[in-house]
Amino acid sequence: MSLRNSFKQTLLNALARLPDGVQRAMFAPQVRRICIRLPLLRAVYSGCLRRHPIDLQYGTDTSGLVDELGIQPDGCRVDQLNPYMGSQPTIIRRALDTLGDIRGYTFVDIGCGKGRPLIVASEYPFAEVRGYDISPDLVATANANAAAIARRFPARPPIRAVIADAENLALPAGKIVLFMFNPFGDELMATLLRNLEAGLASGEIEHLFIVYDIPVCGALFDASTALRRWFATTFPYDPDELGFGPEVADSVVIWQSVRGARPDAFAARNGRITTKDRFTAVIE
């Protein structure tokens, strides 16, 4: 199994290095219809292997697809992990725009991977931008990207990624905006939620927003008495992002903590989450 995964990742990495013109040709409808049926090429049509426009803009490296064994080579809890792929900047921005004044908040990305949401979050006046991931390689890439952004935009809030396990995560105190792009399954998510609830109960976390892109485990947060819905909708990709992700839109649900809660601002917040599989959740 590991040999097959290794071969697959090598092939995908090679395809990702093809010139952009060749990759665009691969997305022509008549070519895509044929190639998407081939198991080893199916991942190509997630769009994640193409160099994303944000990387062309900033000279960063947030593109690509890293499977579960690439994230955790020893196979520990690999059944709970989801592959790395970058979320779309448009989705992140539209979600963050619902929050209002976030000055004094720390942005936290759980399962930050190469750090694309960290780059987008640095556009906002957060006190700090932090990423947590279990993969040392992905964290190293995220910090290299952070350094590139800091050189180009020295006035932006500092970005830092650290190696961490969701089971024993040490989150910052104060006010937090916690972002997730479907990083893992129910077991690890339940552990994360217990830690968040404990932080809120102790007062260490003063107020919390949870921004969950593709909320596959959203039922856990709906069931928590420490949280309540803030917003829920399906955001379309920006036209420039089409073909650089697996879909054309993402469902996003946002919760806030009861502790320090802001007055409800949106009627669109109570849509039902329907989970089709571990990679797909829609708002109905």
Place of tokens 């910090």: 143
What number is the average pLDDT over the span 75-94?
A: 83
Over the range 221-245, which residues count as b (16 or more CB within 10 Å of their CB) and which as e? beebebbebbbbbebebeeebebbb
Q: What are phi and psi of 281, to 5 degrees?
A: -140, 135
Q: Do both 134 and 263 map to the same domain?
A: yes
* Structural domain includes residue 51: no
Predicted confidence at residue 115, as pLDDT, reads: 97
Q: Which of 101-105, 207-211, 235-239, 240-244 has the lowest mean pLDDT?
A: 240-244
For residue 146, CA distances in Å to 21, 84, 155 come to 28, 18, 13
Number of folded domains that form the chain:
2
Q: How confident is the model at residue 2 (pLDDT cuts 50, 70, 90)?
A: very low
Same domain, 29 and 107: no
Alpha helices in 59-104, H assignment, sequence order? 68-71, 89-97
- Check whether residue 104 and residue 212 sit in a common domain: yes
Task: Specify whether 174 is located in the same domain as 231.
Answer: yes
pLDDT in tens, 123-178: 999 999 999 999 999 999 999 999 999 999 999 999 999 999 888 888 999 999 99
Q: State whether 37 and 165 are in the same domain.
A: no
83 lies in a domain?
A: no
- Quick check: 258 pLDDT over 90? yes
Q: Is residue 241 part of a domain?
A: yes
For residue 152, what is the domain's CATH number? 3.40.50.150
Structure confidence by residue, pLDDT tens digits, 195-214: 999 999 999 999 999 999 99
Q: Determine how many CB atoms are found less than 10 A away from the CB of residue 217.
A: 24
Residues spanned by the domain of 197: 89-283
Q: What integer pLDDT is reported at residue 277 of this predicted model?
A: 82
